[in-house]
Structure 1
């Protein structure tokens, strides 16, 4: 590996660490934490971590993170998905413990807060993807069918999570929060575009080979 390649690897991982770590660090220094209980704080930071994991997912599946082959990237994508489910469960469970009526309103789409429906919709999409992934072999889902189901749900997760985060006025600092949300949207869009282009090229090569 050349010096430039090594520096590029370091820069990519450092940028990812900054993108996720800075919003967490700013949230940890928020004055609002003084009026929050430990369970509520844990729930809040689980939500921030979940958004960071949403950023990592398209980077893995798109092959943008150095050190991950296509196979390792897919495996890591699978495990990060499991971690995302756990983070969401902690987030929701913590908020339920601190305020059950508010969570009931949120889960039934009766909450007056504008951010609630986006978060709840993203949550259900995450759970559906996790369930389908765990039953994929049992259901006999082919790669094309899996993509047909997974891609729209992934969009719901990303858009819902970003909207949920941006609309909340909480412990997260505004600029770092907006930057993280923008990176989530950009990474997802790039991964989806690149994967679609790659599949079209592979299909065209297959057609060309068949004609020969």
Structure 2
């Protein structure tokens, strides 16, 4: 590893640590926690961790994470996806325990809070992706079919999660929350553009070889 590569890797890990750690630290110091029970607090922090994992996923897909390229990156993406689903389960279960009527309203899209439907839609998209990933071999999903199903759901997850987070006025500090959401969107857009360009180049290369 060259000096430039090493410095780039350190910078990427540092930015990721700050992007995910700052909102968690800010939420941990929020005065609103004094009026919250331990289950509610656990549920809230599970939601913050989930958003951080949403940031990591496109970074792994695009091969931007140092030390996680190729097979290792794909395996890490699978495990992080499982951790994301688990974090959402903890988030929803904790909120259900603390206030079942509010969660019923949210899950049935009857909640008056504007952030609820976005979170519920993102949640179901996450669960669908996790279920498809578990059944992928059994269903015989080819890579092309898997991408066709996975990409739209990933967009729904990112968009729903970001809007859900931004609309909530809770323990998360505004600036660090907005920065994390902006990074999630930026990482997702970049990986989608990069992968599209890569596929076009591969298609053009294949056409060129076929003509020879």
Name the TM-score, length of structure 2 as normaliser: 0.99
Deviates more, 1:44-53 or 1:197-206: 197-206
User: Which residue of 1 is the match for residue 30 of structure 2?
Assistant: 30
Deviation of residue 106 (structure 1)?
0.2
1:100 aligns with 2:124: no
Alpha-carbon contact 2:106-2:117 (below 8 Å) kept: yes
Q: Which consecutive unaligned segments of at least 5 residues does structure 2 have?
A: none
User: Which residue of 2 is the match for residue 86 of structure 1?
Assistant: 86
SS at match of 1:86: helix
1:161 aligns with 2:179: no
Deviates more, 1:61-70 or 1:27-36: 61-70
User: Which residue of 2 is the match for residue 127 of structure 1?
Assistant: 127
2:52 and 2:174 map into 1 onto residues whose CA distance is 16
| 1:173-192 alignment runs, 5 A limit | 173-192=173-192
Deviation of residue 69 (structure 1)?
2.0
1:199 and 1:4 map into 2 onto residues whose CA distance is 28
Deviation of residue 6 (structure 1)?
1.5
User: Which residue of 2 is the match for residue 139 of structure 1?
Assistant: 139
SS at match of 1:135: helix
Deviations 1:99-154 (A, max 9, x none): 00000000000000000000000000000000111111111111111111100000
1:130 and 1:204 map into 2 onto residues whose CA distance is 33
**What's the RMSD between the two structures over aligned residues?**
0.6
1:40 and 1:174 map into 2 onto residues whose CA distance is 20
1:4 and 1:203 map into 2 onto residues whose CA distance is 32
Deviation of residue 210 (structure 1)?
1.3
Alpha-carbon contact 2:39-2:94 (below 8 Å) kept: yes
Deviations 1:78-110 (A, max 9, x none): 000000000000000000000000000000000
Aligned length: 212
Deviates more, 1:139-148 or 1:24-33: 139-148
2:41 and 2:69 map into 1 onto residues whose CA distance is 36
1:165 and 1:10 map into 2 onto residues whose CA distance is 28
Alpha-carbon contact 2:32-2:171 (below 8 Å) kept: yes
Deviations 1:59-82 (A, max 9, x none): 000011111121111110000000
User: Which residue of 2 is the match for residue 210 of structure 1?
Assistant: 210
